[in-house]
Amino acid sequence: MHIHILGICGTFMGGVALMARELGMTVSGSDANVYPPMSEQLAAAGIELQQGYLPEHLDPAPDLVVMGNAMSRGNPAVEYVLNKGLPYISGPQWLADYVLTDKWVLAVSGTHGKTTTSSLLAWILDDAGMAPGFLIGGVPANFGETARLGDTPFFVIEADEYDTAFFDKRSKFVHYHPRTLVINNLEFDHADIFDDLAAIQKQFHHLVRTIPSEGLIISPKDEQAIEQTLALGLWTPRQTIGIEQGGLQAVNVAADGSQFIIEYQGEYVADVEWTMLGMHNVQNALAAIAAAHHVGVTYQQAAEALSRFKGIKRRMELRGEVNGIKIYDDFAHHPTAIATTIAGLRANIGDRKLIAILEPRSNTMKMGVHQQTLAASLQAADRVILFEDKGLSLSLSEIQHQLGDKATVKKSIDDIIASVVDEAQSGDEILIMSNGGFGGIHQRLLTALDTK
């Protein structure tokens, strides 16, 4: 079977391509931007990539066209598929039909922490000898790949609430039919497709409706938006988690989150000592531990696996150190994630100077939805540099005003680099936050600092 994937270089669709190749299918694909690291993973798997969305990429016709959710009407390849009557399907539906059938699916959903929690869960299961399949929106260092079929019935998936395709406006996760579901948290995001929080809660409840009565839903205790969603109807047992609250708790947590004790229903079950930082990652760990326990991994096994977890690319990833100055890369792009990321690093570095560089790149951020909350999320940094790219409805000058003298706005990456090189001293920590490539600023800054 030959499938052609439109939008193949996205993390999700690239993962679909890799699994299709594992299944023995002939796979080709096209994307507006064919770029690393996904292009390198795909090329290594022998998958033919083509730049752009030209109709000739679909001649001769594949047996099936898999549409990424970035595809829309008016796209030349989409119009060709429709006009020629070629069979097509969404990525999530392809996954449901060809991979997830007969699998015990463990899905990780929520506004924040999906990639980290999915990675932790997949690693815990793998470390316990359960060889799960997975599809994750990042690259866990323990695996070095975003997706694999696995050798057992267990499959871990990062369950995104974003819409499925131009012809299917349901959230992606309704296609996955998990038996174990994590809901990490629930906030307003994706303002480009959701009108308000209630619209997102409606999609999450569609997901809740699919969980079997013999399954398990794992979520924090007393988070209002989740409680409201589950109050619409719950037919599945629920495991609550939290820091010093819930059925499965983290207690005696170190200030930076690097050590904690796990208790279940008030009884000690394990100690954790690991390299991840921040209270948000402690919460992510609890969710992963609870999900792994649901399929038979003991709490002690899970805790030991966490000590061997190597992290994830673009999640507080140390990109390098030059002249005593460390540069981290993080995917944070929502005020809650920005605040918890900065708090985790701050707790670890103490009084050392923390320079935060933010590219407000997400659709929601660009629309100005977080105008009133962004400044507060950056307060724990000593210096803040905001990148003002074109297309922003967000007023960075207002954010700068709220932050006072600690903040500046720059309109070019070169200006950001020059400013940091002029200011940074040995012992400083630089945290770069963006959900995109940010013009390769990480390596460019390392190089500039090295010649300082």
- The total number of structural domains in the chain stands at 3
- Of residues 60, 2, 1, 10, the one with CA closest to residue 30: 10
Domain carrying residue 7 = 2-91
CATH code (residue 321):
3.90.190.20
Tell which wins on pLDDT, 416 or 331.
416
What is the spatial distance between Cα 284 and Cα 123, in angstroms, rounded to a whole number?
A: 13
Mean pLDDT of 402-412: 90
Residue 386's identity, in one-letter code, is: L
Q: Are residues 249 and 296 in the same domain?
A: yes
**Position 397 in a domain:** yes
Mean pLDDT of 107-127: 95
- Burial profile 430-446: b = 16 or more Cβ within 10 angstroms, e = fewer: bbbbbbeebbebbeebb
Mean pLDDT of 235-249: 96
Mean pLDDT of 263-287: 94
Q: Are residues 208 and 344 in the same domain?
A: no
**Averaging pLDDT over each range in 94-103, 270-279, 306-315, 363-372, which range is the top one?**
94-103
Question: Poorest-confidence range of 27-36, 244-253, 378-387?
Answer: 27-36
Q: Are residues 75 and 180 in the same domain?
A: no
- Residue 451 is predicted with a pLDDT of 84
**Position 337 in a domain:** yes
Q: Are residues 215 and 265 in the same domain?
A: yes
Residue 353's identity, in one-letter code, is: K
CATH code (residue 145):
3.40.1190.10
Instruction: Give the pair of three-digit tokens for residue 356.
Output: 């935060």
Is the pLDDT assigned to residue 112 strictly greater than 70? yes
Q: What is the pTM of this model?
A: 0.84
Is the pLDDT assigned to residue 63 strictly greater than 90? yes
What is the spatial distance between Cα 184 and Cα 113, in angstroms, rounded to a whole number?
A: 7
Mean pLDDT of 98-118: 95
Beta-bridge mates of residue 433: 330, 358
Mean pLDDT of 412-435: 92
* Percentage of the chain lying above the pLDDT 90 cut: 71
**Position 355 in a domain:** yes
Q: Are residues 67 and 149 in the same domain?
A: no
Mean pLDDT of 354-365: 85
The model's pLDDT over 164-219, given as tens digits with 9 standing for 90+, comes to 999 999 999 999 999 999 999 998 777 777 888 999 999 999 999 999 999 999 99
Q: Are residues 294 and 331 in the same domain?
A: no
CA 205 to chain CA centroid, Å, is 21
Is the pLDDT assigned to residue 332 strictly greater than 70? yes
Q: Are residues 302 and 155 in the same domain?
A: yes
Question: Poorest-confidence range of 108-117, 126-135, 193-202, 355-364?
Answer: 355-364
- Residue 368 is predicted with a pLDDT of 65
Mean pLDDT of 357-379: 80
Q: Are residues 106 and 64 in the same domain?
A: no
- Residue 317 is predicted with a pLDDT of 86
Of the candidates 281, 306, 331, which is a domain's last residue?
306
**Position 299 in a domain:** yes
* Percentage of the chain lying above the pLDDT 70 cut: 98
Tell which wins on pLDDT, 365 or 374.
374
**Position 45 in a domain:** yes
**Position 312 in a domain:** no
- Of residues 109, 151, 180, 130, the one with CA closest to residue 305: 130
Is the pLDDT assigned to residue 68 strictly greater than 80? yes
What is the spatial distance between Cα 254 and Cα 347, in angstroms, rounded to a whole number?
A: 9
- Residue 369 is predicted with a pLDDT of 66
Q: Are residues 115 and 260 in the same domain?
A: yes
Q: Are residues 85 and 104 in the same domain?
A: no
CATH code (residue 45):
3.40.50.720
**pLDDT category, 222, cuts 50, 70, 90?**
confident
**Position 311 in a domain:** no
Q: Are residues 207 and 260 in the same domain?
A: yes
**Position 339 in a domain:** yes
Question: Poorest-confidence range of 108-117, 177-186, 265-274, 431-440?
Answer: 431-440
- Residue 342 is predicted with a pLDDT of 92
Tell which wins on pLDDT, 300 or 138.
300
Q: Are residues 385 and 272 in the same domain?
A: no
Of the candidates 306, 335, 352, which is a domain's last residue?
306
Of the candidates 248, 273, 306, which is a domain's last residue?
306
Task: List phi, psi (to 5°) of 67.
Answer: -95, 125
Mean pLDDT of 352-372: 81
247: alpha, beta or left? (left if phi > 0; alpha if psi -120 to 50) = alpha
